Amino acid sequence: MQKILELTGYKRALLLIGLGLCVVAALPPIYIFPLAFIGMGGLFLFLDHCETKKQAFLTGWLFGIGFFGGGLYWLTNAFLVNPDKHGWLIPIAVPALAIGVGLFNGLTTLLAHLSWAYRPKDRAVIGRILLFACAWTAMEWVRSWLFTGFPWNMMASIWGFSDEILQSTSVFGSFGLSLFTVLATSLSASFFYREGKQKAVVALSVLVIPALLWTSGAIRLMDATVEHHDNVVLRLIQPNIAQKTKWDNDHKIENFNTLLDLSLTPPQGDLAPTHIIMPETAVTYSVNREPYVLKALASITPRGGAVITGTPRMTPRGVQPFQVWNSLVAINEVGSVVATYDKFHLVPFGEYIPLRNWNPIPKLTDGLVDFTPGSGPQTLEIAGLPSVSPLICYEIIFPGEVVDPQKRPQWLLNITNDGWYGNSPGPYQHLISAKMRSVEEGLPLVRVANTGVSVITDGYGRTQASIPYGVQRFVDVPLAKPLDHIPFFARYGAGSWGGILLLLTILGQVLISLPTKQRSTVS
């Protein structure tokens, strides 16, 4: 092992990138979570043998290139939708993104290295692991807001297969679960600092944190019952329209009729829908400019209910300056728009071009005009429905930013179009982020996607019904009520994990200051 840790040059670089790829295999939807212990434990070992700040930074950066390159490779599918226009970006975009976002991992390992750079070599490794986990969590938080934020594939998401473990986000949030996850997976490195029977003890101890998280979550769910709102049945429409034909003028009427047909299909059971929900930009016509589209949508609206759909909303004809919003609208049975929400967290290069005057990269979506951002999280009141917080596409991935705290809603509605990315890990990674918001807020989640996966959960994040990826289908589902109590994280936000982060940082420094008889080199 010592010889491996002393590797230099391209061999060291490839190994670090490979360790990042190991952690990718633990992400949704693969979930080979033992590989996270190999990846994170290996990263810690390399970092622990760095002698300079430059070495420490490069160690994390190379790991991050593997982690984000492998974890986001599916973004290349978006450039294949219109290959004549965007195909040239395929060999550039994901590597550039991995190199750029990987800098956060470089800063993580640099921060950890600085926090124990002056440690004597015979001091407790557990203290260094604690500080490493704190540094990782701190940089995940920075990544969630710097340059508009990109908190994709947080370490917490490797537990997306377990409703029990995800329950901890109701207290600590996803940042807190990431902290415990990094702590648990990095503890595997201490195996190489032990001898004899102590190795077996370490091998078992790395499972303690996941076991405790699972047990506490299982206890929380043991007697968790779900109540539903009376006379509220939602029809989730998944039209499964290919992105290549979604905006094609030759297919727009056909696509629109698909939405109408799915909405008018008689219910398959005893539940008659009171409200119909369609995905992001399901209606490709601007409803505020096309009265015949409003009339058609009114004709399928259940009596006393509404059709809720995504649509590109535009300024009325003749009004200047011309603006476009990625919007959600609710339409009643007489064809009136009774509620509107505009997406506020826009996707760079998808909905606007950063530094447009100097940037040659074309926008992925149709049209030359950048979308205009909305004002922020809102709580909408729609006839026949409990109050709702709408979120369009990746707005759902930001912990603590999915509701208006001044007017707390009773459920979360996420409309999205993951059809850009095909049947890749992307839609499943997106889904788990959405489910974690449900647990953090204690609110039911309704997620309606163009190509899938569409789901409805209760306030514990447990799936009540779903539509698999890549099928054209609808499902009629009653809406669960929110939890009786507001979860700790939803009430206190970042303070819950921030306080833990501070305490563990102090504890890590204390442990480093204590002498120990452990080996100073790995075996």
The residues annotated as belonging to the active site are: 280, 343, 393
Dihedral of CA atoms 83, 86, 88, 90 in degrees, nearest 10, equals -90
Residue reference for tokens 């692991």: 129
**Could you give the C-alpha distances from 483 to 315, 411, 439, 488, in angstroms and in order?**
39, 10, 10, 12
**Could you give the C-alpha distances from 286 to 328, 338, 415, in angstroms and in order?**
11, 15, 17
Read off the tokens for 369.
Answer: 């005009």
For residues 333 and 343, what is the distance between their CA atoms, to the nearest angstrom? 25
For residues 23 and 39, what is the distance between their CA atoms, to the nearest angstrom? 5
Across the strands, what pairs with 340? Answer: 329
Q: How many CB atoms lie within 10 A of CB 4?
A: 14
Q: E strand or H helix at 78, and its extent?
A: helix 76-79
For residues 149 and 71, what is the distance between their CA atoms, to the nearest angstrom? 17
380 close to 414: Cβ distance less than 8 angstroms? no
- Conformation bin of residue 285: beta by default, left when phi > 0, alpha when psi is -120 to 50: beta
For residues 40 and 49, what is the distance between their CA atoms, to the nearest angstrom? 15
| DSSP strand pairing (228-238 vs 275-277) | parallel
For residues 164 and 375, what is the distance between their CA atoms, to the nearest angstrom? 35
SS (H, E, C) 125-149: HHHHHHHHHHHHHHHHHHHCCHHHC
Q: Which of 454, 402, 450 is nearest to 428 (CA)?
A: 454
For residues 54 and 63, what is the distance between their CA atoms, to the nearest angstrom? 14
Q: Positive or negative CA dihedral for 192, 195, 196, 200?
A: negative
Residues in the chain: 523
For residues 439 and 460, what is the distance between their CA atoms, to the nearest angstrom? 5
For residues 371 and 393, what is the distance between their CA atoms, to the nearest angstrom? 14
For residues 519 and 106, what is the distance between their CA atoms, to the nearest angstrom? 27
Q: E strand or H helix at 155, and its extent?
A: none
Which letter, b or e, does each residue of 71-100 get, where b requires 16 or more Cβ atoms within 10 Å of its Cβ?
bbbbbbbbbebbeeebeebbeebbeebbee
